[in-house]
Every structure is written in structure tokens, then in C-alpha cells.
Structure 1
Amino acid sequence: MRDVTVLTETDLRACVPLNLAAIDVVEAAFRALATGEVVMPPILSMDLPMVNGEVDVKTAWIPGFDGFAIKVSPGFFDNPKQGIPSLNGLMILFDAKTGLVDALLLDNGYLTDVRTAAAGAVAARHLAPETVETAGVVGTGVQARLQLEAAYLVRPFRKVLVWGRNADKADACARDIGRALGVETTVAASAETVVRESDLVVTSTPSREPLIQAEWLHPGLHITAMGSDQDGKNEIDPTAIAAADLYVADRLSQCAVSGEWQAVLAKGLDGGRTPPELGVVIAGAEAGRRRPDDITIVDLTGTGAQDTAIATHALACARSAGAGSVIQT
């Protein structure tokens, strides 16, 4: 018989906050990717246009981690019409040495939200300017809120600008961020205003048309783009990426087929260069921001390494707190 820990979303929300510990464990996973010893297959991705849905399956085995996770993440975007959430999902955590199941994490996407926001904070920690006065976000969903909360932990800022296509949603998002962080938060008139007036910008939309233009970039700007995670999605005009001093991918092979780099390649604007990955920058094998005036862009498509990191972290937190239930198999 073997004990398997079962954790619900309620359990996980109570014991796995978005904090520096979560950011650090995600950073450790990125650093491990730079060693070349991580086993991380390509994302299994299904686009389901007939039901306005998509499903991603991600995993990674990381040396030194007690376990490895397989994460199933469905998004069915007509669900709100039925009064149910668009996103859900779960993670299965296996023992890294035996392959036996350690835990079932019924998180409904909560851990994905945490690890995605943590990855944004890791990008800001290593590539944003040392001093950030104004942070901006293009998008008004859950990640718009969490990305700013995570970034604030590593680059505290005084002001936030929010822009979204829906004015009511943008206003609600701005209010939520202001309450959470206690900083001045306003709705910007346009995405252009957000970019031109911010030191750090996060884009968190499912857009398939560029929202950020090259002429809006300015010295010292950092952008973390995290909305493009499927073939055809594109938040940043490829000419803007070509104009930046540094473009960094979370996983270049993924960004070439589902991230911002895909559009750069399609337009032939790559210039024959091979951009560095975030883990390599973290490890110090490639330079990040070289000068205060550099314009930097990080492209986050989401990796299985992040899922393994947050799942192992979640189980450790749960055991420490005595959370969840145990079944025998």
C-alpha cells in the first residue's frame, strides 16, 4: 500500500501563496534548465476550435527535485456562458526516483496561476531596471493582477497603469491591484500610454494581433510578454522585438512555435541570431541587461519545469501545514 496526498484548490490556496518562496523555487527550475540535464518534452497541445477550447499537457524531470509533475490544463472559453470557469486543470506529482504517485493536486489552475506569475517576477528580477517607478499591464484578467503582485515583490513600484479593451474590466482590474498593493493605480487611455509611461510592462492577453508597437519603446523599458502560448497568438509587433537590445525566451523551441518569437521568424526579422533562454541568463552564462538604457523583452510561454517546481513546492508546503487528505493505493 502507498499513501497518496490529495490536495484541493481550497487546500492549496491556504498553504501556497504567491510569495518569494514560490518565486525562488521557480527561479531554481529555470536555472536547472540551463544545465541541459532537465528532461522536458515539447508541450502536448490541442486546439479545439469547435468548442472554443484548448488543452495543454506539460511535464519536466529536474535533477535534485524530489518529484516531477504532469500538468493537464484545459481552457474552454465558452464556459462562462454556463456559469462555470474557463480554466481548470490538475497536476499529478510523481516520486522522481521511483515514478510512483506522491500527490494529486486538484488545483483548478491555481498552481499554474502562481507559477506563471512567479516566472514573471523571475524575469523582472533579472532583466528589469533596478529602480521601477511605474509598472504597466496590458490585459485585465487574473494574470494581469497576479503578474503585478509578483513583480512588486522583486521590483517595488509606486504607480501602476492598466489598459484593456473593455473599460469596465480595466477599471475593476485597476481597483483590485490598487487594493492589493497599496499603490496609485489608474486606467490608461491606451496601450501606447502604458508602454510609453512605464519602466516595466507586462502583457497578459490572448491577442492574435500585436498590441505593442516598436515606436512606443523607450530606453530602460522592460517588457514581460506572457499571453502568447498557442500557435498564432501575438502581443508584440515583431519589429519591436527586433528593435530591443535583448530578447530572452523561457524556452526558445517553444517560443518559436507558440510565443512571440514565432512572429519574428515568420517576418524574417530574427537576423540569424539565437536568443538566450531565461535560465541561461539566471545562471550567468549569458548577459542580461547590460546598461540602464537597454530595452529588454522576455517571452514566457510556460514550461513543464515551472509545473514540477511549483508542484513539489506545494506538496512540501501542504505537508508542513498538515493540509489535504491521504488515500491508499
Structure 2
Amino acid sequence: MAKIKILTEAELRQCVSLSKEVHDVIAAAFARLAQGGVVMPPVLSMELPQVNGEVDVKTAFVPGMENFAIKVSPGFFDNPLKGLPSLNGLMVVLSAETGIVSAVLLDNGYLTDIRTAAAGGVAARFMAPRQVTTAGVIGTGLQARLQAQALLLERQVERLQVWGRDRAKAEQYAREQTGVLGIPVSVADSAEALVKSSQVVITTTPAKEPVISADWLHPGLHITAMGTDSPEKNEIDPAVFAKADLVAVDRVSQSLERGEMRSAVKAGLISADTVLPELPGISAGLVPGRVAEDQITLCDLTGTGVQDTAIADLALHRATAKGLGTLIDS
């Protein structure tokens, strides 16, 4: 009878944290996606308006990888009123050879948080300018914190700015992150002021209207947009697609359905059959990323199943090496 390893969030936190090595794992997974052979179906999504919720399922099979993962991510947004978190989830890990369940990772979304931030780090690696004096983060939640950490793993940054709709939360972010990041973090007076004075900007919001205008762009600016991951969201002014020198996405099909490309198509600035560079192709060296310091670049991240399989496989191998987890009979 097969044994299934059960790993809790606490155990997984002992195995995986944001690091340059994790960036490398995600970059390698992206490269494999671009090189072919990966099976990655479209995101399965359920909107549940009756309970103000949604559920996303993502997966990918990567040839040569020992395991693949199926991730379930529920978001029930009335939960805080019940004293419960809005987001949770788990990953089921299966043998790539037999399809038998190897493990269940009860991560409550932790591994998704790490792989999402790592994708931002990969975007910075290939698309941010080499010299970054000032970076900016729009948003004050968990990804606003993790994405800043990921950026600093890829670039030396002298100072960070933050802007959010709730100034008190932005001020709290600035106080906390000054200590965490070891660089000065200040609150910008406006999103416009933040963008105009930064070389890298990361958007981490659930906005339904753009938080960045094309009028604010300037030579040498890179934007990583990771908040838009469903059809009703939109962080970036569609006109940015016309003004930027390079726009890349993690997956064209996903960006057209649930990312910033959808808004640009709706605005008539690109067509639905536009083929933009993908971060996987850039990671594999098949297409160029930033080639000049004065370019204006944008990378739209919607989150891919190949990231989930890569982070789950890494976590399971590390947990096994540490002797962590509880084995149960299937």
C-alpha cells in the first residue's frame, strides 16, 4: 500500500523561504515551459458570488521532474467577519511516473505566496535596469512585502517607497519594512509621485481601475504588475502597452483572459491575436529581456501552474531530506 506524506504549513516553512535559489528554481521552470514538453492546462476557476468567494485550480506536468502538483486556491472574502483568513489552499503532489499521490501539502497558500514573489524576482532579474536607486511598491499587503524582498535579492536598491489607499497601513508598512529590508522605506504622497521617482515599481493590488497611468512613465522604468489575476481586475493603464518599449507576460493566454492584456484588448490598443514575449521565453534566453537602461518595460504576472509544480517538488524534496512530515496509508 502506498504511503502519502502529509506536510503542514509550519513544516513547509522550515523547508522553503524566499531566496535567490528559489528564484533560480522558478526561472528554470519558466524556461522549461518555453522549451516545450510541459503540459499546463488553462486555469480552472469558479466564481461563487453567493458566498463572495472564488476557487482557482492550477497544475502543470514538467517532463523530467519527479513530481507534479495540483493546487487548489480558495478565496472566501467574508471570512474575516467570521474570524477566519480569506485565503487558504493546499497542493496535492503526484508521482510524475505513476500518478500516485506522493504528498499533500497543507500550506494554506504559503507556497503560492513564495512562488508568486519569486516570479517577481525573476522578472526583475531579466527586465529591471541594472542601476536601481529608488524602487516603489503600490499596495501594502503580504505580496507588497514579499515582492520588495524578492527585488532586493536581484538588485541593490538604496531606498523604497510605498503607496496605498490607506495611509495608516502604508505608514505601518514603511516602519516594518525599514527594519526587514535594511534600507529606508518612506510613504509616497501619491502613486504618481512614486512612479515618477522610481526605476522599478511593483503593483500588488486587487484594483479594478488602473493605479498607474501611462502619462507617468519615464525612460529607465520597469513595472512588475502582479495584482491582476482575474477578469474584473486591472492595475495598469492600457495605454502603457502602446508607450512601453517592452511588454512581457508570464503566459499570453492567461493575460488575455485574466491579466493586463485583457484590458488592453478591450481598449483597442492591441488585438486578441497579439503575441507578446513571455517571461518563460526570456528566462530560457529565447527572446531578449531588457537590452538598454533607458527602456520602459512592463511584466504582467498572472501566476502559472508550472510555478506550483516547481515549488511543490522543491518543498517535498527538502522536507524528505529533513525527515519532516507524517506518513499515512493511502
Deviation at 1:158, TM superposition (A): 1.2
- SS of equivalent to 1:58: strand
* CA deviations over 1:187-231 (Å, ceiling 9, x no partner): 111111111111111100111101100010111111000000001
1:58-137 alignment, distance < 5 Å: 58-137=58-137
CA distance in 2, matches of 1:177, 1:132: 18
1:244-323 alignment, distance < 5 Å: 244-270=244-270, 273-323=274-324
Report the counterpart of residue 48 of structure 1 in structure 2.
Answer: 48
Report the counterpart of residue 27 of structure 1 in structure 2.
Answer: 27
Deviation at 1:63, TM superposition (A): 1.3
- SS of equivalent to 1:238: coil
Report the counterpart of residue 210 of structure 2 in structure 1.
Answer: 210
CA distance in 2, matches of 1:178, 1:226: 22
CA RMSD of aligned residues (A): 1.1
CA distance in 1, matches of 2:261, 2:135: 24
Q: TM-score, normalised to structure 1's length?
A: 0.98
Q: Which amino acid aligns with 1:196?
A: K
Is the 1:134–1:197 Cα contact (8 Å) retained in structure 2? yes
- SS of equivalent to 1:87: coil
The percentage of aligned residue pairs carrying the same residue is 57
CA distance in 1, matches of 2:173, 2:251: 29
CA distance in 1, matches of 2:8, 2:156: 32
Is the 2:28–2:283 Cα contact (8 Å) retained in structure 1? no
Deviation at 1:78, TM superposition (A): 1.4
CA distance in 1, matches of 2:232, 2:17: 32
5+ residue gaps, structure 2, are: none
Report the counterpart of residue 163 of structure 1 in structure 2.
Answer: 163
Is the 1:149–1:177 Cα contact (8 Å) retained in structure 2? no
* CA deviations over 1:105-157 (Å, ceiling 9, x no partner): 00000000000000000000010011211111001110000000111111121
Is the 1:242–1:264 Cα contact (8 Å) retained in structure 2? no
* CA deviations over 1:261-315 (Å, ceiling 9, x no partner): 0001111101674211111111121111121100110000000000000000100
Is the 1:255–1:262 Cα contact (8 Å) retained in structure 2? yes
- SS of equivalent to 2:132: coil
Is the 2:56–2:72 Cα contact (8 Å) retained in structure 1? yes
- Runs of 4+, deviation exceeding 6 Å: none
Is the 1:229–1:259 Cα contact (8 Å) retained in structure 2? yes
Is the 1:54–1:76 Cα contact (8 Å) retained in structure 2? yes
* CA deviations over 1:81-118 (Å, ceiling 9, x no partner): 11111100000000111101111000000000000000
CA distance in 2, matches of 1:131, 1:287: 18
Deviation at 1:176, TM superposition (A): 2.3
Deviation at 1:47, TM superposition (A): 1.6
Deviation at 1:21, TM superposition (A): 1.7
CA distance in 1, matches of 2:19, 2:94: 24
Give the aligned length.
Answer: 329
